């Protein structure tokens, strides 16, 4: 399948690499291709610059947001939260209408340092804003409540015995995404929370997640729902 991944950070790289390894044709999108390739310093997490990562993954193409949006039959949204809407606005609506967008973004505000706050909460969510701005797009919120390594390999923790959530207005899109999560990444336990407004809840889990990371001194944990 042709897949577009919006965002060249650690989450976008992890998603893109896993999908490419699975035989998908992946294009990863950025705002400015030349500027992205020109960076020579490690990123904020201390990882090598994107150009070095891209050289190590020769089957993955780099393009603009518009090019990645046109390329993908399915899209993954993995930009920083503050850039989420602008990155979609760079894509022609004709290249978004009818497509599934798996939204991994979070409205994290680092303007006052760590821990971050949320610039959207309670009565709205980033996922809802995307859905309102692009009504022809099938937005499904998922994978935003864990570290990137677990998104693509849930078996790395507790044999995969933990949960991922999906939220969205389109039942068929959620069913398709649940299938992708199982087939592409190996997820066993998926909870459909309901319509896109339920993304408020998963986005608001991030302040808890960040504090757990600090207390546990590792990002390799996730939520397990016990009934």
pTM over 0.85: yes
- Domain spans, the chain: 2-216
**Rounded to an integer, what is the distance from CA 77 to the centroid of its chain?**
5
Q: Say which CATH superfamily domain 2-216 falls into.
A: NAD(P)-binding Rossmann-like Domain (3.40.50.720)
- In tens, the pLDDT along 3-28 reads 999 999 999 999 999 999 999 999 99
> Beta partners for 166?
142, 192
- In tens, the pLDDT along 138-165 reads 999 999 999 999 999 999 999 999 999 9
- In tens, the pLDDT along 101-135 reads 999 999 999 988 889 999 999 999 999 999 999 99
Strands 117-118 and 108-109: antiparallel
Q: What is the DSSP letter of 123?
A: S
């Amino acid at each position: 399948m042709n897949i577009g991944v919006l965002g060249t950070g650690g989450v976008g790289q992890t998603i893109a690499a896993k999908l490419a390894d699975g035989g998908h044709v992946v294009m990863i999108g950025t705002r400015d291709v030349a500027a992205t390739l020109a960076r020579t310093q490690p990123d904020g997490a201390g990882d090598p610059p994107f150009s070095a990562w891209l050289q190590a993954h020769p089957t993955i193409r780099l393009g603009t947001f518009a090019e990645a949006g046109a390329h993908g039959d399915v899209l993954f949204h993995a930009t920083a939260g503050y850039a989420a809407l602008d990155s979609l606005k760079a894509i022609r609506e004709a290249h978004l209408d009818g497509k599934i967008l798996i939204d991994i973004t979070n409205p994290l505000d680092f303007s006052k340092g760590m821990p971050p706050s949320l610039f959207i909460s309670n009565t709205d969510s980033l996922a809802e804003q995307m859905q309102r701005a692009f009504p022809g797009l099938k937005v499904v919120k998922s994978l935003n409540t864990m570290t990137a390594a677990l998104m693509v390999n849930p078996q790395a923790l507790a044999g995969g015995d933990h949960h991922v959530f999906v939220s969205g207005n389109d039942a068929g899109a959620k069913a398709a995404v649940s299938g992708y999560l199982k087939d592409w990444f190996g997820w066993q336990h998926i909870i459909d929370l309901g319509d896109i407004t339920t993304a408020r809840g998963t986005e608001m889990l991030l302040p808890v997640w960040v504090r757990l990371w600090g207390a546990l001194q590792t990002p390799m944990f996730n939520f397990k729902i016990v009934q």
